[in-house]
Copies of this chain bind each other. A is one copy, B any other.
Amino acid sequence: MDIIKLGILGLGRIGKIHLETICTKIEGVKVIAAMNPSIEGRSFADRYGIPLVTDNAMAVLHHPEIDAVLICSPTNTHSDYVIEAAHAGKAIFCEKPIDLSLNKVRETLQIVSNANVPLMIAFNQRFDPNFATIKEGITAGKLGRLYTVHITSRDPSPPPVSYIKQSGGLFIDMTIHDFDMARYIVDAEVVEVYAKGYNLIDPEIGIAGDIDTGIILLTFDNEVTVIIENSRKASYGYDQRLEVFGSLGMMKAENPIKNDCTFFDKKGAHLPRHLDFFMDRYTMSYQKEIEAFIHALKNKQPMPINGEDGLKAMIIAQAANISVKENRPVKIDEILIIPGSLPH
């Protein structure tokens, strides 16, 4: 398996990013098939000279030369494609979440497990240079025993209400990245969730049955507490920060800013804005997550983020949803005992 041969399903926003990254920045891989229902997505693929560009997912999933597939299509197709890829014996890179239904996620993971194919869930933020630096600091023991973690995650503006309606809700759609980050940073398991949710930004979001502001406390089995602050709208730009407090010190990651110029006038000192779009902020993380997938494949190592990680983040999200609804701390065990489709 010298050159890894890839197929990609879905050429929307994230599929295009992955395709471009792979074709221009990653060595030792070749995309040999790409699927997208619309012509627009397929013509994007044509720029990179992909041998097979099609609207037929099966043609990619069962392509005899392909080693691995990247599933970047809409969420409601994920589990079907994952199952089909597993049956075809392909390694799988799947955008989060596998499905909005916990039961379906469980069933899908069972099939992947039976097929014994590698599966990576694409929580790209683990590969962000800022957050990765903090993780390295923790692993190196610079912080000692962890006490509390604070994650701030605010979007520059909410997505369309039509999107929100089918998103699974704030915790599944947006906070899920923070739930995964919390598990990654603390390196332990959540035992209890307490969450508050509000509709403060746009009344239409509330009418659609969702919240736009969330505050979540995660209690881990090692007594670490993670606090997450979420908002669908930060007027000052995309806000993605992390702060970790431990017995030997504290480490925090601020938002990367557009340039390093400060202007001083009568009113004070003025710095430019943050990188305020996720594709500017997380450009590097997308590249590094693909590299990590390829590296694990080539070296037959375990995937850095597996199906269990995807499942656990969803379980936390479900606990958070129940917590908001019932205004009480919810044990993770409750969710494990009463599986079912996610309340929405």
Interface of A toward B, CB cutoff 8 Å? 24-25, 129-130, 133-134, 137, 142, 144-145, 147-148, 150, 154, 194, 196, 198, 200-201, 213, 215, 217, 219, 223, 225, 227, 229, 231, 233-237, 239, 245, 247-273, 327-329
Contacts and interface: CB of A to CB of B under 8 A. Distances in A.
A187 B134 CA distance: 36
A264 B234 CA distance: 10
A158 to B, nearest CB: 13
Nearest to A145: B200
A215 B148 contact: yes
One complex includes copies of this chain to the number of 4
A111 to B, nearest CB: 38
A252 B239 CA distance: 13
A88 B236 CA distance: 53
A112 to B, nearest CB: 34
A271 B154 CA distance: 22
A235 B248 contact: yes
A263 B142 contact: yes
Contact of A260 (B229, B249, B256, B263): B256
B270 A270 contact: yes
Contacts of A328: 328-329
Task: Pick the 9 closest A-B CB pairs, nearest first.
Answer: A236-B264, A249-B265, A24-B24, A269-B271, A254-B260, A250-B264, A133-B261, A253-B261, A268-B273
